[in-house]
Amino acid sequence: IAVMRFDPYGAGDSLGTDEQLDLTGWQSDVLTAHEHLAAWSGCSRIVWMGLRLGANACMLAASANPPSLRRVVLCEPILDGRAYLGELRRRHVALLDAELGRASKSTAADRAQSDPQAFCDEAFGIAISGGLRREVVESDWQAMLGKIPAEATLVVDEGRIAELKQRAERARFVPAAESVDWLADLPE
């Protein structure tokens, strides 16, 4: 089985910085990787797999319906962008308060409460550009889920399956082996 794993622009070991990453670019990166894998391997049936925001990039790229795309496996995609960014911000602010202590009169949580723009451009040391925030919030991910032209498999928490089946009737659903808090630190 020919396999390709890559970091899209601005993430991981790729070129670019996190300030430069955007989902439109990631969509292009997925399609470029698809073309490269097809040419390199000679395969006529290709499966994509994306995790969290990478799953969203796969949803976007699948709309181009590239030749030889057989299936898209989406692991815990972000389907409510506003809630996702809100949770990132809340956890980031809580981490700042926990790590820096509450020696000052004003805590990060106080500032976040009084200023809706505070702590929106970074989460856990990774920059989140205004463009990326707009893409995550303004895209109708749940509608897009039902329009993926390839066969789709969604790996999600079992509690989300019933709701998502209504949005993606053709998709196959696999309950995640365990529930994962993607924003929590892993034990060392």
- The pLDDT tens digits of the residues spanning 72-119 come to 999 999 999 999 999 988 888 888 887 777 655 667 778 777 887 788
Strands 122-123 and 69-75: unpaired
Contacts of 5 (CB under 8 A, 6+ apart): none
Residues 6+ apart with CB under 8 A from 125: none
SS3 category, 114 = helix
Q: In whole numbers, what is the pLDDT of the chain averaged over residues? A: 87
pLDDT at 42: 93
pTM to 2 decimal places: 0.87
Q: What is the pLDDT of residue 106?
A: 67
Q: Where are the strands (E) in the chain, listed by range? A: 46-51, 69-75, 122-123, 126-127, 151-156, 172-175
Low-confidence ranges of the chain (pLDDT < 70): 102-106, 185-188
CA dihedral 22, 26, 29, 35 (to 10 degrees): -150
